[in-house]
Every structure is written in structure tokens, then in C-alpha cells.
Structure 1
């Protein structure tokens, strides 16, 4: 764990950074971890990845933070016991003041919070902040196919952070996104700034409760809502969360089922070893196969591939793709999540000389 200023504490606060597949949760979690260090906190990170590969934890570890990964399942159902053990172990070993938890992209909130009622956690760990990251580029496409996950995450978070605004096409209109989000959760603070423009003052207001900004409208500078940095808002929002946040706000939210079924059965997940060394042409053909639907309806593909013998992080969200160098990694693999995935075709791409 990277060391911040030492301080006594009574309770460890669990912050949840949720968001659908590929929304930018890990980037936001990294931003939040860095902020907490500067603020004198002692943060650690837990990530739950729906597939078998544990890349997000490796990304955070590369930044110098303590990170624990839980893979091949979802924390809100199959991995609940593992989450309890992981939290208790982190608290015992590292004495953190904050745990930043990134659940899988298909996480749904109902029935999650009773984890903290476990005898090993009760009185030691409480819910801190909850933020849902919303994909500013792919929201509309994702909502049409996977709205049950996305709406559950949006309605459960007091803070909504719109991501990828630095990558958005010129002239991107957020009006539809913002109207949709406000219809789902009118009480939330909606942040529509690129991550690079998040200041410590703004993060303190949102996550350390040092002003009344928390939960009061947009914190933005976008043309879609016409407000800037929280100015000009006359919102009278009440929060209904059934927990007390670390920043001292009390919320009375009733975490009911919201008539949602847990729809993980709608999704396929395939993790394959990528045992081939790509050149540019072969890698471009592979990426085209993913985004064209030739391998199934892929909502997210993420993993490590070799390009001319060097490890690269490949990240595909719907038709968006990103490729960047990754520190030397000896376990090249990719996880695909979507509907109607063709395992045989995906596995073929991972074979040497395919």
C-alpha cells in the first residue's frame, strides 16, 4: 500500500466504484486512490472481474497500490463469501482508512450491503461513497442491450461520473444521456468533466463531504445542462440511502430489489490464452472480427496480447478500441463478455500461428 499520512481511525469506509463493462471504472478508481493518498488516507483496492483474467488489479498494482482481485464470478452473488474474507483480511493486514472497491461491470446493488453485517466486518467497515461511472461514448448502445444492469447502477449511486469525455467525438451531445440519467436518479450529482479536470477541491466536495455540493445537481461545464461547476443550481434533493457515508451525510435509501432479476444468465463470458504473436495486420483483422460481430455480440473484450513480442493491453468496448503498451506480462489472455459468443472461433484466435 502506498503510504499516506498516518492517522487514527475508528471505521474503515468502503467506497464503491460501479459502472457497466468498459465504462472506465479502473481509471476512476486509480484517480480516487491517488486523491486519497494526497488527502492523508490509507487506501487499498479490491476488484471483482467477471471473467478469469485479473488485469485491473495488475494495472492498479503497477501504480504502487495494494490490490486484491476476485475473478470468475460476480460479488453480488457467487463471490459474496470471498468478498467478506478479502475485506476482513485487508483490514487486519493493512489497517486502511479506505477500501476502494470496483465491482464487475455486471454488478447489481441489491443484496450487496448485508455483506457488511458479517460478524468479521460489523463495527469495522461501513459504506463510504458510491459512484457509478457512465460511459459517455457508448452509453446509448449499452443501454439498449444491457439497460437492466446500467439502470440499477445509476439509481443506486449518489454520484454519477460521465467518462471518456476526452475521447468523445467532436460535438458529442450529452443531452439524451443526461436526461435519461436524471429520469433514473434525479437526486444524483452528475459530473461531466474529463478526468484530467477533476481537482482536489472538487473530489473533496464529492467524497470527503467538505461542502453541500454532494448530491446537488450537476458538477460540470457542459452545454447540455448549461451549468458550470455546480453554480446556478437550485435543487432540493433528498438522499434515501440506508447507510451513513464517511463524509457525515446520512441517507435513507431503501436498498430493495427494485423488481430487478439478476440477469447474469443473459451474458456469456469466455477467457482464452492468447498464445500467438501478432503483427499489425493480423491484430487489425482480429479486432475487426471482434467489433463486427463475427465472434458474437461482444460488449467488452479486454486482455493482454503480444505485438511483435511485446505485451500490449487491448481494450474493446462495443466498437471502441484501445491498444497501449503494458509492463512485461507473461500470461497473455483475453476475456470476452457479451451475448451469443462463439467460443471455438475466439479460441482459434489465441492459437500460435492462427
Structure 2
């Protein structure tokens, strides 16, 4: 091969074929990663592509294959660590399989059915092959199921909420259910492990900071916590928060401590929080009131955010595998498109394929002070 291209015109597949000494069909097979090409021929074609600076036309490939190789990703809750980590993992997994992701974000994870349908129509105009929807709230979960789309859908959500997964799936015809998959982290199991360890440390009176009611993560964690406490004989009082933010948890914990100081009631020996942000706010309030962690009161979070191991003291928390969740969501897309094997989930409950969560013990959790 010789000669540099001097024209400003975009090189064509036929020019690549001519330079490589192969047919344009062979070039097409190389571009589309067909296994029916020898390594020697593939290398020769790739050298021609590199020399000419050839870029395949995605629209042409879509016409030839009836696929755009594009996945429409609709994501809510993107100001939080978990959804952002999952989105990054989805995009990375898509690239590994030669797919593109087109993304639309919902800042507050709240939308009407009309707004959600509008986003889907925009993606359909791009001829996306499938949808992935990160649906952290009840509103998004229901909207994703009701959306009148023909493409396969993979929903990332929690097992519990105002609408159960079973109720949601019953809204679909039997044929549509075959094109919908739901995946998530095993947050119920994660919260069960928190209750078990808290009990092992002798804590019988616990304060639980619950997340916003319309978030399925919050509902799943709360229900799992209450069920576990009932089974283990733990007395739990819930502090209901309207947000996941540290600031609100800080204010509410201050109020709790002031009430304890005013009434003289025995304080809880442990505070369990529905996420790490809330735990940070709780710990700040405890420090400012001179309450030692964990000698006077233990604190546990959920999500294992970056830097939680460098808190004072390091925060005990639950580690959901957000990276694996994104990878599994993309595998489900490939399976529904007939391009991959069916996932074998270690845990599957309520119609959701689940990724296990791990409890991380750190120094913020200690034995109950029962003196």
C-alpha cells in the first residue's frame, strides 16, 4: 500500500477495498466484526482504513443491518453517586460491544408520562435498537412501563415501591413482557445484613433515617429494615426525610438530640441511615453535641460512597456494586436483541435480577453501650 490521500473528500468503502486489494463486501465484514474474515485479511483491511482515514457511516450500517447500534439511555437521579456510576458502566459496556449510547437525563428523577413518552419519541427518531431506563422513583418506573415503544426495554430499579414490580409487569401484554427486563441491586439483602450485624453488636434501640418516600431505593431499604427488626427483636424508630441530603439529616438529628436532652429519655445506641449522605449529616450533629462515635452511639450508612473510609471514624456501610449493575443491564440488552446469552443471576426476587450487596464493617459501628 502506498500513497497519501490529498483530496478533502471523505474516503469511501470502495477506495478502502481497492487499496487493500479485496472486495467491498470484505471491507464491510471487517467493519462489522464478522468472524468470517481471516486475521491476515482483517489486518490488511485495517491498514487501508488507517491509511485513508476511513470512517464508517453509521447510517449506512444501520440501513444494511436494520440496526442503528444505538441504545437510548434515560436516567434519573444523576446527581447521585449510584446512578452516575451505573451510567458510566453502561456506556463502557456498550463501547466494548461496538454500540453507542444516546443519553437523556432527568435531574430530579420526576417526570410526567407525556414528558417520558416525548423522550422515547426522540430516541425512536434516532432509530435506537433498545432502551435502558434508570428508574429510581415510582413515577419513572411506571412511566417506563407505560411508554408505547416497540423496542426492548431494560429497567434499572429497586424491588419495592408504591407499585410492585409484579403490578407493573401486569400492565404489559404477554408479548410485551418478553421484551422487558428488570435489574437492580439486592438492597433488601443489604439491609438485612445491616440488621444482623447491628444485632450482633448488641444494639436493641435504633434510630432509622429513611429516604424520600417516592424513591424505590428508600422504600425497599425501609421495608427490609422494618421486617428485619421485627424478626430480630430490635426496637426501631423511623425519622422520615424528604430528601437524601446530608443537610436535612443534620437538622433532624440535631432536633432528636435536643429532644433527648430536654426530656431525659434514653438515647438510641445506633443510628442506621438509608444512604451515606444522611449518615454524614448525622455524624456531624453527633460530633457537635459531643456524642462519641461509636462509644456512645454507632452510625451505619448505605452506598459506600468514595471517602467514607476516611470519615472520622470510618463509616460502616453497604456496598452496592453499581459497576456490575451497568454491565448486567447492557448484557440484558444484548440478550433481548438476540446478540448474547441469558444472564444467570445469583439472586432473583419479585421479577428482578439482582446484584448482591456487601456490608462493609468500619469503626463507626461498635458494641452497644448498655451501661
In proportion to residue count, which structure has more strand?
1
Same fold (TM over 0.5): no
Normalised TM-score (structure 2): 0.28
Normalised TM-score (structure 1): 0.29
In proportion to residue count, which structure has more helix?
2
Q: Greater CA radius of gyration, 1 or 2?
A: 2
